[in-house]
Copies of this chain bind each other. A is one copy, B any other.
Amino acid sequence: METVIDTGISMHKLCEKLFPICRSITGDGFRKSLAIIKNDVQLDDLQFFEVATGTQCFDWEVPEEWNIKDAYIITPDGNKICDFKVCNLHVVGYSTPINQKISLEMLQNHLYSLPNQPDAIPYITSCYQKRWGFCITEQQRATLKSGSYQVYIDSELTAGSLTYGELIIAGETEQEVFLSSYLCHPSMANNELSGPVVTAFLAKWLLSLPSRKYTYRIIIIPETIGSITYLSRHYKTMKENIIAGFNITCVGDDRAYSYLPSRTGDTLADQVAKHVLAHTHPEYVSYSFLDRGSDERQYCSSGIDLPVCSIMRTKYGCYPEYHTSLDDLELVTASGLLGSYRVLKKAIQCLEYNETLATAVLGEPQLGKRGLYPTIGTKEGEAKVQNMMNFLAYCDGVSSNLEIAEKIKVPLWELVDIINQLKAEQLLKSIH
């Protein structure tokens, strides 16, 4: 049986396997990566969907499919640089094909580098405007001499389709918990292989449970156009059924824990995220919805208004390696992935534990006759059953278990045994 620590190592291994593949918002790299996840994590019911180029999705259209075989630059000295096969970040995403000799001066207009991070290859894409380009370290760029450069990009932009994966895990009710992550980034680790990998392992854990109160809607998509496409097909059902959801991204490093709220900031997902982080990682960083930058942009847009927030390690845009070749598998660690996995698991457990109950008797129940209360009055006695008494006091048929946990300042998971004991004693009744 796999231990918890094994889970961290397994997730990191899966990241390693997926890392070299050149992914984009469409194309075979995405498909291949999704297939590896399905196979390695044994998510047999993970369905693949293809949405044809040109399909209208809300205000957007599915773009042409982009595939690339090779790309490089030959310097006047005959050296091959910006070799796609060495690092796929060297090519601007969605670059049109080219095979041409041009001057350094011309070439400079198509080069992207980061003066402040001279040893980093930046990650650049241009999905909605046709252009070509190469990304290069500032250090290497500085060495380029005048002369004629052979630029070669063997890519294809064709009518094809956008791919996404969807896994529905049935629960006892039609109400849904929603997990979303994205797989459209090429060789970067925290943003973004950590998200789909942790999501896949959460799916595996959910499948291993004997039962689930909620149905789980889990999707692995390309960012932005993927969530727009998916929403355009399912948003009515989603609005009806989803009680809470998490956008899972940047969950792999060992630094901060972070929370980015939904637009309103007060959904059940927000309540759960803040409850779990406050009790497990009270030093967590709390962002504003104004700091958003991932698929919550769609999930929380006005008219969609899904209860979706993000629990992350160091947030996208907030770590120096973000969107460069430095976001690699040393930045993302087994323990970093494992920490996120555990926190998200706890958040899901809180959702499963959460219900609205009422104390079934008037006044305090006599816990003593049920063996739940110390039989002799001492100074220390009361403290022992304080959580139980506090839970009963606030259990009024209106406050949810989660809200009670907040009020009585204990983590919800520490109340689970207490609630089960009280249920066994017929001291609680459900509210429907």
Contact = CB atoms under 8 A, between A and B. Distances in A.
B393 A362 contact: no
A364 B228 contact: yes
Interface string A111-139: 01000000000101111110100000000
A397 B359 contact: no
Nearest to A375: B129
Contacts of A363: 57-60, 227-228, 231-232, 298, 301, 304
A contact residues, range? 35 or more
A393 B317 contact: no
A270 B47 CA distance: 54
B408 A301 contact: no
Contact of A301 (B298, B359, B378): B359
A216 interface: no
A254 interface: no
Interface stretch (A3-11, A156-164, A289-297, A326-334): A289-297
A376 B302 contact: no
B366 A60 contact: yes
A78 interface: no
A127 to B, nearest CB: 8
A382 B293 contact: yes
A243 interface: no
Nearest to A361: B59
B359 A393 contact: no
Given A290-B408, A369-B128, A302 B359 contact: yes
A227 B396 CA distance: 20
Contacts of A301: 359, 362-364, 392-393
A390 interface: yes
Contacts of A303: 358-359, 362, 396
A323 B376 CA distance: 14
Q: How many copies does the complex hold?
A: 3
A396 B302 contact: yes
Contacts of A131: 375-376
A394 interface: yes
A235 interface: yes
A263 interface: yes
A368 interface: yes
B124 A263 contact: no
Contacts of A289: 393
B382 A298 contact: no
A222 to B, nearest CB: 13
A392 B297 CA distance: 10
A366 B293 CA distance: 15
Interface string A262-290: 01000000000000000000000000011
Contacts of A322: 379
Interface in A389-408: 389-390, 392-397, 408
25 contacts: A57-B363, A93-B377, A124-B377, A126-B375, A126-B376, A126-B377, A128-B366, A128-B375, A129-B376, A224-B364, A232-B362, A232-B363, A292-B393, A301-B363, A301-B364, A301-B393, A302-B358, A302-B394, A302-B396, A303-B359, A303-B362, A303-B396, A304-B363, A305-B396, A322-B379
Interface of A: 57-60, 92-93, 112, 122, 124-129, 131, 224, 227-228, 231-232, 235, 263, 289-290, 292-293, 297-298, 300-305, 317, 322-323, 358-359, 361-366, 368-369, 375-379, 382, 386, 389-390, 392-397, 408-409
Given A112-B378, A232-B362, A290-B390, 11 more contacts: A58-B361, A128-B366, A128-B375, A224-B364, A235-B362, A301-B362, A301-B392, A303-B362, A304-B363, A322-B379, A323-B379
